[in-house]
Amino acid sequence: MTRKDPIAEAAATSSSVALGGNAERTRSHNRRVVLETVRQHGRLGRSDIAALTRLTAQAVSNIVVELVAEGLLAERGRRRTARGQPPVDFEVNADGGMTAGMEIGADRITTVLVDIAGGLRAQRTTTLPDASPPAVQALAALELAAARRAPGLPKRLLGCGVVMPGPFGVEGMSSIGDTVLPGWANLDAAALMTEALGCAVTVENDATAAAVGERLYGRGRDRRNFCLVYFGAGLGLGIIIDGQPYRGAYGNAGEIGHVRVVPGGRACPCGGHGCLERYASANALAEMLHDSGREAAYEDVARLADTRDPVVDRWIAEAATLLGPVVALLENLFDPETIVLGGTLPDVVMDGLVAAMQPLPLSVSSRSDRSVTRLQRGATGRLTAALGAAALPLLDTIAPKIDRVAPPEPIARAAGR
């Protein structure tokens, strides 16, 4: 009859377990639901919230009182209606709090402060002379402090999201090569940055952060399933499933840059040849520009694209040819509501890409009755990664999610033997 201890067993397999609920968790869930509903619709009366969430008006009323008291919601006066007592509208209180987003690249740090209503309240960029952990820690702390000196900011800082070349802690294919910052490999970046910044830090890769940014502030505002193709140094894919970022079982989902699209093509640091990101990425464009003796800083690229520079056009044509089938592939696999293009390329270039990819290849998304376009440029512009980073802590605050947790510690339990 002797068996292993089921608790120890669960901890060993590290399979997460669904969490039971209770009254407090119900409240916390409902608070999130209310906030998310208001955020999504912009401005709602208590009854509207009740109807949308299927809570009673009374429950909503209680929660709203709480949220207003905490400064998360703000009253916005009565709406005019046909009959009956007009509802008092509420919206997310822009001054109720803010989050920070930092994009740490090899040579620069971009910092943004975003309020909980999605408004950009401060923004800084500085060069990073030394990317070693202590230097980054110091400079990041300074930059955040400097950004917080902007006038009229919300007082509360709810958290900080950091985007940096990853991955961290996961031994993935993409960790081989030149993506990780020198000296950061195998370090717990989130812990280091939490220590440096003195507030809760979430670390995420650029593509996923950008997708979260679009989800909260951009094209994904009322989308629950979409993909974001991110043009950075490489090519990334951010995946939003059921309103939440999808990271995969080991945090490596969306590694799209190393799909082989040109058999026997350009060599890639990953060891392969003809990888997609050797053609379709900001780096690939910069290389092409360099090879033809042109400047390739952001402003240069924007200018060149504006003037329909032949090299830029050539890159767009090539990238579009290779990306088209990949877009169709993503549609066939994920069946998203839409696919968004984001990243560090100027809007003109993105628009050029979208245009050059038309008509898109046949896929399950080729329906005639679409209400959303299959492919579009993101709405958060050049700051997309930093804004996405800032959105990360907010997602935890706002988005209702299923509560699931690692199995409990088997410590202090006498295991059966």
Which residues, numbered 79-138, are part of the site for DNA (CB under 7 A)?
80-88
How many angstroms separate the CA atoms of 150 and 406, rounded? 40
Kindly indicate which of the ranges 29-37, 120-128, 277-285, 307-315 contains the residues binding a second copy, using the contact rule CB under 8 A. Answer: 29-37
The residue behind tokens 């207003």 is 68
CB of 291 or CB of 403, closer to a second copy: 403
Yes or no: say if 226 and 213 are a contact pair by the CB < 8 Å rule: no
The yes or no reply on residue 63 touching DNA (CB under 7 A) is: yes
Tell me which stretch binds DNA (CB under 7 A): 39-47, 195-203, 321-329, 355-363.
Answer: 39-47
Task: Give the sheet arrangement for strand 108-115, strand by strand.
Answer: 120-127, 108-115, 98-104, 157-163, 201-204
Q: Per DSSP, what are the bridge partners of residue 163? A: 103, 204
Q: Pick out residues in 340-369 that bind a second copy (CB under 8 A).
A: 362-369
52 binds DNA (CB under 7 A): no
Q: Which does 329 bind (CB under 5 to 8 A by kind): a second copy, DNA, none?
A: a second copy
Q: Which two tokens stand for residue 127?
A: 């060069």
Q: Report in angstroms how near the CB of residue 16 gets to DNA at its nearest.
A: 18
Q: Are 63 and 57 in contact (CB under 8 A)?
A: no
- Which CB sits closer to DNA, 19 or 191? 19
Regarding 143 and contact with a second copy (CB under 8 A), the answer is no
17 binds a second copy (CB under 8 A): yes
Shortest Å distance, C-beta 407 to DNA = 15
Phi/psi at 33 (nearest 5 deg)? -60, -45
Instruction: Tell me which residues in 364-403 interact with a second copy (CB under 8 A).
Output: 364-369, 400-402
CA dihedral sign of residues 206, 211, 217, 218: positive
Q: Which helix (H) or strand (E) holds 112?
A: strand 108-115
Residues in region 250-289 near a second copy by CB under 8 A: 250-256, 258-260, 270-272
Candidates 212, 237, 390, 391: give the one binding a second copy (CB under 8 A): 237
Cis peptide before 167 (omega within 30 of 0): yes
Query: Which part of the chain contacts DNA (CB under 7 A), choosing from 51-59, 285-293, 351-359, 360-368?
Result: 51-59
Partners of 298 in beta bridges: none
Distant-in-sequence, close-in-space partners of 333: CB < 8 Å, separation ≥ 6? none
**What is the C-alpha separation between 344 and 233, in angstroms, rounded?**
9
Report the DSSP beta bridge partners of residue 73.
Answer: 92
Q: Which stretch binds DNA (CB under 7 A): 56-64, 98-106, 107-115, 246-254?
A: 56-64
User: What is the binding site for DNA (CB under 7 A)?
Assistant: 20-24, 26-27, 30, 45-48, 54-59, 61-65, 78, 80-88, 414
